Structure 1
């Protein structure tokens, strides 16, 4: 498993927590930061999946 997949999953989870905290407290900035971090995490996870697929294809 590529390290980007793990880091991406952690970023997604962290972003989700920030987003929910922002919604609960009414803090739009925190909610937006959480949403952005969640998207970053999804992208990083997909990069990790592609990397794994390329490595497996070259074996």
Structure 2
């Protein structure tokens, strides 16, 4: 994808609970990781096992 794109993949399957997606420590790690990225890339792609939008499927 080139030097202008950074990809961060998060595997949160072992941390997911019924009442939370990620524990606070993982949010902190994600923030520290993004904050430590070099200045060159213009795009950040975040891969997550949890959908941000879950469309309602009509059956």
Tell me: higher relative CO, structure 1 or 2? Use CA pairs within 8 A at least 6 residues apart.
2
What's the TM-score once normalised by structure 2's chain length? Answer: 0.37
More strand by share: 2
More helix by share: 1
What's the TM-score once normalised by structure 1's chain length? Answer: 0.37
